[in-house]
Amino acid sequence: MIMRISHGNCYNLRLPNDTPPANLQMNDKTKLWDGRFSEATDAFVEAFTASVTFDQQLASYDIEGSVAHATMLNKVGILTDAEVSDITGGLAQIGEQIASGEMAWSISLEDVHMNIEQALTGLIGDTGKKLHTGRSRNDQVATDVRLYVRTAIDQISEKIRQLQLGILDLAQREADTIMPGSTHLQVAQPVTFGHHLMAWFEMIERDCERFQDCRKRVNVSPLGAAALAGTTYPIDRELTAELLGFEQIAMNSLDAVSDRDFAIEFVATASILMMHLSRWAEEIILWSSPQFDFVDLPDRFCTGSSIMPQKKNPDVPELVRGKSGRVFGALTGLLTLMKGQPLAYNKDNQEDKEPLFDSVHTVMMCLTAYADMIPAIEAKRDNMIDAARRGHATATDLADYLVNKGLPFRDAHEVVGKLVALAIEKNTDLAQLSLTELQKHSNLIEADVDLSLAASVNARAHVGGTAPEMVRVAITNARKRIN
């Protein structure tokens, strides 16, 4: 007998006949805007245009924004003291209901804003209907998204700091560890592992700076722009901005309600961060392969294979590498979403939320995984140094030695090239050739020549160089920079 598995709908949309989840009601209640309409919205259209299934995530910001708006309406004399206290009290209660999962979200109320407003009116009566005075969902949603992105930036920045501390701890442990430095993935010159890790630190430090810079443009209040042209009420935009911790107010109402460039900038910044995390992932994956065998990842970050018993797969870095694609995709999606829109607000903008939320979620997950995993990386120091001993890593040092003895650099390059060929012929490394062998191609080479890996890294003892002492200086400076 063949068992049939029922797949249901392959999309998440609730069609009219679907049973909605327990706390999501499809009802034919009067809309908040249906005064001019003579027939009810088509059930499919209602589901198609609703955003409440995902913009629920904005609920706490929506409430915060509404409290600030109501407080301002009271200060300018539009709401009485009693009204504002009813409204803020009601909103607080709704906030608790949402937090405890008791809120009955309704698709026919379209989005988080109208669900909360309707719940408020249900709770406190007609006063609830006054909340929307001097405001539109257009400046409301722009406010919510800005508050959401601002919080995301703060949480991401904190995670980045945590990860940076982990990188610094590992770099400190591995300041003296020598490994082959590569260009073109070919052995180039020896470097210290600590130095390599400090390159990662610098990348993510710039990411953190980019987020802080982006925050300035996010932290601007659109409230008061209303639908698009501003409002006839004597509102106080500075007050709502101040109550919500916005540093500035948006200077043009049309721009304030319509542009999502701040969200795009955030996802662009997140994309660059993910690009960096993905590069590290690639390195960690290569290093933990038996071919490199430079590092060991603790078992808790790996998984086995269901068929090959010997496998220990670096799933966490692989997933981080893969997840970068989601964030890059979100960036492309948001840019495309925005590029054809005439002023001012268009419903297209409702599509900004899912890619934005997904990007925040993805970045937070990846940073959390790395903050735990990276300081737990175990360097296989002997393997690293052995690999650096193969590949004639100190060839440049020999050329520099000859230059110091007066030979022009190009000639020195030629001499060393011939000596590398000799080493290859003898199936050894340049550094293993005897003094007599080295002298075959230049009598400038004398007993003081030192082609050891340690001499090579120690010689690069300037700011930004790979010498262990400079790595330690870089770590000390980095700790000061992030404090």
Least distance between ligand ARG and beta carbon 65 (Å): 12
Q: Are strands 178-183 and 186-192 parallel, antiparallel or unpaired?
A: antiparallel
Out of 106, 221, 258, 350, name the contact with ligand ARG by CB under 6 A: 350
Least distance between ligand ARG and beta carbon 228 (Å): 9
**CA-CA distances (angstroms) from residue 319 to 157, 160, 266, 483?**
21, 18, 22, 31
Nearer to ligand ARG, 144 or 429 (CB): 144
Residues 6+ apart with CB under 8 A from 193: 171, 174, 177, 178, 179, 379, 381, 384
DSSP state of 76: T
Strands (DSSP E) along 12-136, which ranges? 24-25, 105-106
Out of 46, 83, 86, 111, name the contact with ligand ARG by CB under 6 A: 111
DSSP state of 405: T
Least distance between ligand ARG and beta carbon 141 (Å): 4
DSSP per residue over 308-342, as a string? -TT--B-HHHHHHHHHHHHHHHHHHHHHHHHHTPP
Can you tell me the distance from the alpha carbon of 379 to that of 293, in angstroms, rounded to the nearest whole number?
9
Q: Which stretch binds ligand ARG (CB under 6 A): 16-24, 71-79, 91-99, 341-349?
A: 341-349
Nearer to ligand ARG, 114 or 163 (CB): 114
Out of 26, 51, 263, 415, name the contact with ligand ARG by CB under 6 A: 51
Nearer to ligand ARG, 190 or 222 (CB): 222
Least distance between ligand ARG and beta carbon 475 (Å): 46
Can you tell me the distance from the alpha carbon of 191 to that of 171, in angstroms, rounded to the nearest whole number?
12
b/e per residue 33-48 (b: at least 16 CB within 10 A): eeeeeeeebebeebbe
Least distance between ligand ARG and beta carbon 113 (Å): 6
Both tokens assigned to 42: 């088509």
Nearer to ligand ARG, 111 or 429 (CB): 111
Do residues 320 and 370 make contact, with C-beta atoms less than 8 angstroms apart?
yes
Nearer to ligand ARG, 69 or 137 (CB): 137
> For the window 167-206, what string marks contact with ligand ARG as x by the rule CB under 6 A?
----------------------------------------
Asked if 105 is part of the footprint of ligand ARG (rule: CB under 6 A), the reply reads no
Which residues, in sequence order, are bridge partners of residue 221?
A: 249
Out of 115, 192, 258, 349, name the contact with ligand ARG by CB under 6 A: 349
Asked if 345 is part of the footprint of ligand ARG (rule: CB under 6 A), the reply reads yes
Can you tell me the distance from the alpha carbon of 38 to that of 352, in angstroms, rounded to the nearest whole number?
31
Least distance between ligand ARG and beta carbon 260 (Å): 9
DSSP per residue over 190-234, as a string? EEEHHHHHHHHHHHHHHHHHHHHHHHHHHSEE-TT-TTTT--SS-
Q: Which stretch binds ligand ARG (CB under 6 A): 127-135, 165-173, 344-352, 390-398?
A: 344-352
- Residue 253 Cα to chain centre, angstroms: 30
Q: How many residues bind ligand ARG (CB under 6 A)?
A: 10
One-letter amino acid at 48 equals: F
DSSP state of 446: -
442 tagged catalytic: no
* Region of residue 406 (left: phi > 0; alpha: psi -120 to 50; beta: else): left
Q: Which stretch binds ligand ARG (CB under 6 A): 67-75, 177-185, 245-253, 345-353?
A: 345-353
Nearer to ligand ARG, 328 or 345 (CB): 345
Least distance between ligand ARG and beta carbon 182 (Å): 47
Nearer to ligand ARG, 114 or 178 (CB): 114
305 tagged catalytic: yes
Can you tell me the distance from the alpha carbon of 460 to that of 454, in angstroms, rounded to the nearest whole number?
10
Catalytic residue among 6, 184, 306, 434: 184
> For the window 127-166, what string marks contact with ligand ARG as x by the rule CB under 6 A?
----------xx--x-------------------------
Can you tell me the distance from the alpha carbon of 189 to that of 99, in angstroms, rounded to the nearest whole number?
56
Catalog residues that contact ligand ARG under the rule CB under 6 A.
51, 55, 111, 137-138, 141, 345, 347, 349-350
Catalytic site positions:
184, 305
